């Protein structure tokens, strides 16, 4: 596998390929709050899966359960058919890496050093070899530097190798986190809001980058609030609401599902607003976000129809 692979936009979608990641009946409770409520899903080799849902829906908590940051109250996660222990390091070593909603880089280390940190789970040098700095340590360090530079080039940060992470602009920090995740040589990459705070040009670049990651054979699960991004990028989309899986389907199916639209505009049994009461302005906003909504579902209809 080489990061020199040339991307192409019409990468095949994955259904039909083997399951690489599976979560079965994940429940995560915090006291009386059920943040993740019996969620199951499968991710296939080379697939890009989107996870959407309103604020507080449980998306990040679900990622935390998948990656061993949280031990789920119940449920099981398997990677390549093997049960994953709920320990972050074990999960990374098994082949799943992630980025964080709130960027977690080593600010006082350079971009290259940050990527090299990701390599450590794949190098064999133990503490003693590091102290003695024997030939094996030096060889592995050289390889880590070469691989780190290659990954920086892959995410478009080759000219930033020696910059401190904390001095990089926000969008570049997000790409650096992705490079660090890739350095662990994962089969599956989980991205938690990779375009948060990015401008449209950076978002476009992030989308191309994720397509190129898939080109390298990895599966990607991505949490995002930017619907246009999600529906353009993903092969399949899941929508979580109040911890539970509300809808799962192709971007076209999820985009036009009235339950998803209701979830986003706050329509629920607790709320007076429903999809039937969208104003023209609501519809414009939803269209701008890439959500398909029928023009008839507007306030004009509520005024006339009820």
Ligand X SMILES: Nc1ncnc2c1ncn2[C@@H]1O[C@H](COP(=O)(O)OP(=O)(O)OP(=O)(O)O)[C@@H](O)[C@H]1O
Q: How far apart are CA 230 and CA 236, in angstroms?
A: 9
Taking CB under 5 A as the rule, does residue 242 contact Mg ion? Answer: no
Residues from 82 through 111 that contact Mg ion (CB under 5 A):
101
State yes or no: residue 183 binds ligand X (CB under 6 A).
no
Asked if 196 touches Mg ion (CB under 5 A), the answer is: no
- 69 makes contact with Mg ion (CB under 5 A): no
Going by the DSSP 8-state scheme, the letter that residue 113 receives in this structure is H
- Range 162-192 burial, b when 16+ CB lie within 10 A, else e: eebbeebeebbbbbbbbbbbbbbbbbbbbbb
Contacts with 203 (C-beta within 8 Å, 6 or more apart), sequence order: 195, 226, 229
Residue whose token pair is 């890439």: 290
The one among 2, 55, 102, 124 contacting ligand X by CB under 6 A? 55
Q: Contact between 298 and ligand X (CB under 6 A)?
A: no
The single-letter DSSP state of residue 164 is B
187 binds Mg ion per the rule CB under 5 A? no
- Identify what 106 binds: ligand X, Mg ion, none; CB under 5 to 8 Å per kind: none
What whole-number distance in Å separates Cα of residue 9 and Cα of residue 167? Answer: 32
Strand (E) or helix (H) holding 248: strand 244-249
Region binding ligand X by CB under 6 A among candidate stretches 55-63, 105-113, 227-235, 282-290: 55-63
Q: Say how far apart CA 251 and CA 274 lie, in whole Å.
A: 22
Among 48, 50, 61, 212, binds ligand X (CB under 6 A): 61
List binders of ligand X among 92-131 (CB under 6 A).
Answer: 101
Where helices occur in 71-134 by DSSP H, the ranges are 88-94, 111-119, 127-132
Indicate which of ligand X, Mg ion, none lies near residue 57 (CB less than 5 to 8 Å, by partner kind): ligand X
Strand partners of residue 236: 49
CA neighbours closer than 13 Å in the CB half-sphere of residue 146: 7
Crossing angle for the helix pair 135-154 and 111-119, nearest 10 degrees? 120
Residue 214 interface partner, choices Mg ion, ligand X, none, CB cut-off 5-8 Å depending on type: none
Query: Applying CB under 6 A, does 171 fall inside the site for ligand X?
Result: no
Q: How far is the CB of 119 from ligand X (least distance, A)?
A: 28
Nearest approach in angstroms of CB 28 to ligand X is: 8
Nearest alpha carbon to residue 184 among 209, 222, 213: 213
Q: Between residue 212 and residue 251, which ones bind ligand X under the rule CB under 6 A?
A: none
Helices (H) and strands (E) in the chain, counts: 12, 10
For Mg ion, the binding residue among 35, 53, 57, 60 (CB under 5 A) is 60
Which of the stretches 16-24, 51-59, 115-123, 182-190 binds ligand X when contact is defined by CB under 6 A?
51-59
Q: Which CB sits closer to ligand X, 35 or 112?
A: 35
Q: How far is the CB of 31 from ligand X (least distance, A)?
A: 7
Toward Mg ion, which CB reaches closer, 230 or 275?
230
Query: Which two three-digit tokens encode residue 235?
Result: 């092969």
CA 88 – CA 64 distance, rounded (Å): 9
Q: Which stretch binds Mg ion (CB under 5 A): 60-68, 83-91, 183-191, 232-240?
A: 60-68
Of the two residues 148 and 267, which places its CB atom closer to ligand X in the complex?
267
Q: Which positions lie near Mg ion, rule CB under 5 A?
A: 59-60, 101
Residue numbers at the binding site for ligand X (CB under 6 A): 30, 33, 35, 53, 55-61, 101
């Amino acid at each position: 596998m080489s990061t020199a692979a040339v991307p192409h936009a019409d990468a095949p979608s994955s259904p039909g390929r083997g399951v690489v990641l599976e979560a079965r009946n994940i429940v995560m409770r915090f006291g009386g709050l059920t943040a993740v409520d019996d969620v199951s899903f499968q991710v296939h080799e080379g697939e890009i899966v989107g996870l959407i849902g309103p604020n507080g829906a449980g998306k990040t908590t679900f990622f935390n359960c998948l990656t061993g940051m949280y031990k789920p109250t119940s449920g099981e996660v398997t990677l390549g058919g093997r049960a994953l222990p709920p320990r972050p390091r074990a999960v990374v070593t098994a082949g799943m890496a992630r980025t964080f909603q709130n960027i977690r880089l080593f600010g006082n280390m350079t971009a290259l050093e940050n990527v090299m940190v990701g390599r450590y789970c794949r190098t064999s040098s133990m503490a003693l070899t590091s102290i003695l700095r024997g030939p094996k340590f030096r060889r592995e360090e050289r390889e880590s530097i070469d691989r780190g530079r290659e990954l920086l080039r892959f995410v478009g940060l080759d000219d930033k190798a020696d910059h401190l992470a904390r001095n990089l602009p926000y969008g570049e920090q997000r790409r650096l986190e992705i490079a660090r995740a890739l350095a662990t040589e994962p089969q599956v990459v989980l991205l938690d809001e990779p375009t948060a705070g990015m401008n449209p040009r950076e978002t476009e670049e992030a989308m191309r980058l994720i397509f190129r990651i898939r080109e390298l054979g990895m599966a990607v699960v991505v949490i995002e609030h930017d619907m246009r991004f999600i529906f353009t990028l993903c092969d399949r989309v899941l929508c979580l609401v109040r911890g539970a899986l509300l809808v799962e389907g192709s971007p076209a199916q999820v985009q036009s599902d009235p339950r998803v639209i209701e979830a986003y505009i706050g329509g629920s049994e607790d709320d007076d607003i429903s999809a039937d009461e969208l104003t023209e302005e609501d519809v414009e906003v939803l269209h701008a976000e890439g959500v398909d909504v029928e023009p008839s579902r507007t306030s004009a209809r509520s005024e006339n129809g009820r």
